[in-house]
């Protein structure tokens, strides 16, 4: 099962274009500054039916639990209330968030070097965050 590679604890290694992505989401300056300083640790748990994550940082701790193929309510780290849908595309976990007529995609996968890659995409802006096993 491709999902088993995602399971575990992860620590942020690098982040590219995160500020641009948050700006595209409509996140205010003060929250973006805090978000850019945060170095979250993630705990991911994936089964055949569901996905859950826990993010812990000095900025904010949060959790999310969703089932594949079902729309789930989620509150994002910046306080948006979104409808989230989860699906697999090959070995990539696809998450789509929709709110106020807008949408964003978050793609999670483990690359060939064993690092967790998270691509966040909205309106042509792509942020890439890379995590190593904790």
At residue 50, does pLDDT exceed 80? yes
Position 60 scores a pLDDT of 83
| pTM score | 0.93
The phi, psi pair for 4, rounded to 5°, reads: -65, -25
Q: 120: closest CA among 10, 22, 5?
A: 22
Position 78 scores a pLDDT of 86
| CATH annotation of 2-133 | 2.40.128.20
pLDDT single digits (tens) 75-85: 988 889 999 99
pLDDT single digits (tens) 1-30: 456 899 999 999 999 999 999 999 999 999
Tell the residue number behind the tokens 């989860």, with chain if given.
86
Long-range contacts of 81-86, Cβ-Cβ distance < 8 Å, separation of 24 or more: 86/51
- Average pLDDT, stretch 93-116? 96
- Percent of the chain at pLDDT > 90 equals 83
Domain boundary assignment for the chain: 2-133
């Amino acid at each position: 099962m491709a999902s088993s590679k995602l399971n575990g604890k992860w620590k942020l290694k690098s982040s590219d274009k995160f500020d641009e992505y948050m700006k595209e989401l409509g996140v205010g300056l003060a929250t973006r500054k805090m978000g850019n300083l945060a170095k979250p640790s993630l705990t991911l748990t994936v089964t055949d039916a569901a996905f859950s994550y826990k993010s812990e940082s000095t900025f904010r701790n949060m959790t999310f639990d969703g089932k594949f193929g079902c729309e789930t309510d989620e509150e994002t780290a910046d306080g948006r209330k979104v409808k989230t849908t989860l699906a697999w595309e090959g070995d990539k976990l696809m998450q789509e968030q929709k709110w106020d007529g807008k949408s964003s995609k978050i793609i999670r996968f483990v690359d060939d070097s064993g690092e967790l890659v998270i691509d966040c995409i909205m309106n042509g802006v792509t942020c890439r965050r890379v995590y190593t096993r904790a």
